[in-house]
Amino acid sequence: MADAKPSARALTRTNDPERTMAGILEIATVEFAKKGLDGARIDEIAAATKTSKRMIYYYFSSKEGLYRAVLEDMYRRMRSIESSLHLTDLPPVEALQKLVGFTFDHHHDNENFIRLVMSENMQRGAYLSQSKSIQGLNVPAIAAIQELYDRGVASGVFRAGLDPVDIHASISALTFFNVSNQHTFGLIFNHDPASPKAIAVRRKNIIDMVLRFMLA
């Protein structure tokens, strides 16, 4: 049962619950990314983390609760790294270039993130909509774009009238497709989008496209 509590013996397997939860999230991220919510198995996650099904339910309440926690953790990690970019210390154009480059690199290096977002979109956002923290986690991303954009408009380098959410959507769309559609795109056009040269060219082009879209 989803609300079952682990035995005292199970709980004493570790004196570091946070580390245990982090380990579960790490394995669960791969499991859900590969198999989706329906295909993932709690028993397999428990075996891979050397915990128990009951312990996972103790920490995350249910399979759906673990899936939701994985989604939250992925966004939390991305936003945490974004906050360390120190965009406010850079001129607006450099700040924008750094943000777009970071987003490209993050998506390229974290295919599981892309797969999980795709999976949740197929669920029509059903589980993220239950999250009490997801909107708060993503507020800083829009705030960072708003700040660098406002500075750019004030200094005359960015054109006025753009919406920070739309800017964020454009950056996400351009950097997301590169990973989400790499296999079908490569097959259809007999092109290797994963080659180092192709990645470097695509990264530069996306940064240039976003910048030209915003320049005054």
Contact 24, 59 (CB under 8 A): yes
Judged against a pLDDT cut of 80, whether residue 171 lies above it is answered with yes
Residue 50 Ramachandran class (φ > 0 left, ψ -120 to 50 alpha, else beta)? left
Contact 181, 107 (CB under 8 A): no
* Banded model confidence at residue 214, pLDDT cuts 50, 70, 90: very high
Alpha carbons 44 and 202: distance in angstroms, whole number: 37
Position 95, amino acid: A
Judged against a pLDDT cut of 90, whether residue 168 lies above it is answered with yes
Judged against a pLDDT cut of 70, whether residue 190 lies above it is answered with yes
φ/ψ of residue 155, rounded to 5: -90, -5
Helical residues (DSSP H) of 61-163, grouped into ranges: 63-83, 92-109, 111-122, 134-155
- Which residue in 154, 157, 53, 43 sits closest to 96, CA to CA? 157
pLDDT of residue 194: 86
- Coil vs helix vs strand at 91: coil
Judged against a pLDDT cut of 50, whether residue 127 lies above it is answered with yes
pTM surpassing 0.85?
Answer: yes
- Coil vs helix vs strand at 70: helix
* Banded model confidence at residue 12, pLDDT cuts 50, 70, 90: very low
Judged against a pLDDT cut of 80, whether residue 11 lies above it is answered with no
Average pLDDT, integer, range 181-194: 90
